[in-house]
Amino acid sequence: MSSLFNQYRVEELLLATGTLQKRLWQEAGELRDAVFGKEVFIRGVIEVSNFCRQNCDYCGMRRDNQKLDRYRMNSDEIFDHLQSILPASVRDINFQTGEDVVAVRETILPLVRRIKKESRLGISLCLGTLESKDYDQLREAGGEYYIIKIESGNEAHFKAIHAPGTLAKRIEAIHYLATTGWQVSSGFIAGLPDQTKEHFLETLNLLHRLPLRGTSVSPFIPGENTPYEGAGVMSGVEALNSVAILRLQNPDRIIPAVSAFNIVHEEGYRLALEAGANLGTINLTPERQREDYQLYTKHRVIMNQERVLKAIEKAGLTPSEKSMIRFLKKI
Ligand code: SF4
């Protein structure tokens, strides 16, 4: 563990500016380089369905949001779309949905089978809390990496923000996935309403203890048509320092730069890479669906290949030629 943790409390590192922030990011970057080299993995994401049975207070896709046009793509249309637009830099693909079991069974399962059979892409999935048999079928079909976020590691806070199900169930799912052959990633939202310093620390500690290969932090952005519309946003400094803290605590995990960093800071995406992130995601959702995959706002910052590659270059890093999932299998 970094010596910074002996000299400073995590709360101090979170607010670090100037020389201390420089040191924090530098140590985080060096740790990332020591495990992964100066390379950033690149994956594509397709947001397959915005139907969701959950009602998270921080998300525009919550079931009570009547103002959202809902869509669910089918597997053939996604496969054809991918074939026509897959950027040359992409080595892994992530399929993401609201918590929509119809999409899981009717779209994702056949799609994963086909991608596994007809391509060399690593397959990651972010589909919410499902039944064990769904995870098993998806794994059997070719899914390898499952993203299931805890959002807050404090049980009372988790309940207060109406995060999906219960924290205990999410943790149980992480353990189940990790013991059934999945590589698992989890993460949290920094700056959620009513998130105290204690919640923040509890969340970091929990993520560190869980059997994860990836960990993410997203800055809270108040969602349109959600109970948190109009809530305050944390500073870009804190959000970006969170990335470095995660890296110092978890040197050998995949940590993504998420597009929401560009909302809290104009150069946020590149800075997240400088602070220790090692995964860039190119949004491949077809344009007509993209606007309705509204985690917080319809006015999203869309990271295409050009923007991702530019941020990687400006951060002094290079795009990896390898699939993140295959790389993880060897370490
Ligand atoms: S965060 Fe996920 S589970 Fe919660 S409402 Fe949004 S899409 Fe659904």
Decide: 130 in ligand 1 pocket, CB within 6 A: no
Question: What is the overall mean pLDDT for the chain?
Answer: 95
Give me the pLDDT at residue 310, please.
97
313 vs 230: CA distance, rounded Å: 35
In a domain, 240, yes or no: yes
Q: What is the pLDDT of residues 157-216, one digit of tens each?
A: 999 999 999 999 999 999 999 999 999 999 999 999 999 999 999 999 999 999 999 999
User: How many domains does the chain divide into?
Assistant: 1
Output the CA 17–ligand 1 centroid distance in Å.
33
Burial of residue 101, with CB atoms counted within 10 A of its CB: 0-12 exposed, 13-18 middle, 19 or more buried: middle
| Ligand 1 near 223 CB (within 6 A) | no
The pLDDT of 250-277, averaged and rounded, is 95
What pLDDT does 296 receive? 74
| Atom 4, ligand 1: residue with shortest CA distance | 56
Task: Return the pLDDT at 106.
Answer: 98
Domain holding 210, by residue range, is 35-330
CATH number for 125: 3.20.20.70
> Are 97 and 127 spatial neighbours (Cβ–Cβ below 8 Å)?
yes
Residue 54 Cα to ligand 1 midpoint, Å, equals 6
Quick check: is 99 in a domain? yes
The CA angle 199-132-136, to the nearest 5 degrees, is 120
Residue with the smallest CA separation from ligand 1 atom 5 is 62
Residue 142 lies in a domain: yes
Poorest-pLDDT segment among 9-13, 214-218, 293-297: 293-297
For residue 26, tell me if it sits in a domain: no
The residue type at 309: L
Angle at 180 between CA 132 and CA 126, to 5 degrees: 65
Residue 83 has phi, psi (to 5 degrees) of -60, -35
Task: Please report the pLDDT score of residue 102 as a whole number.
Answer: 98
Domain-located, residue 11: no
Decide: 62 in ligand 1 pocket, CB within 6 A. Answer: yes
**Nearest residue CA, atom 1 of ligand 1?**
59
Eight-class DSSP state of 284: -
Ligand 1 atom having least distance to the Cα of 53 = 8
Give the rounded percent of residues in the chain with a pLDDT score beyond 90: 91
- Whole-number Å distance, alpha carbon 66 to ligand 1 midpoint, is 14
Q: What percent of the chain has pLDDT over 70?
A: 99
223 alpha carbon – ligand 1 mean position (Å):
12
In a domain, residue 14? The reply is no
The whole-number average pLDDT for the span 68-84 is: 96
- 56 CB under 6 A from ligand 1? yes
pTM here?
0.96
Higher-confidence residue of 96 and 331: namely 96
Q: Residue 30: inside a domain, yes or no?
A: no
Q: How far is the CA of 90 from the centre of ligand 1 (A)?
A: 26
> Are residues 245 and 14 in contact, defined by beta-carbon separation less than 8 angstroms?
yes
Spatial neighbors of 232 by CB under 8 A, at least 6 apart, are 191, 193, 222
In a domain? residue 13? no
Residues 140-164: pLDDT tens digits?
A: 999 999 999 999 999 999 999 999 9
Nearest of 294, 299, 247 to residue 273 by alpha carbon: 247
pLDDT at 2: 77
Looking at residue 295, what is its pLDDT? 78
The response to whether residue 143 sits with its C-beta less than 6 Å from ligand 1 reads no
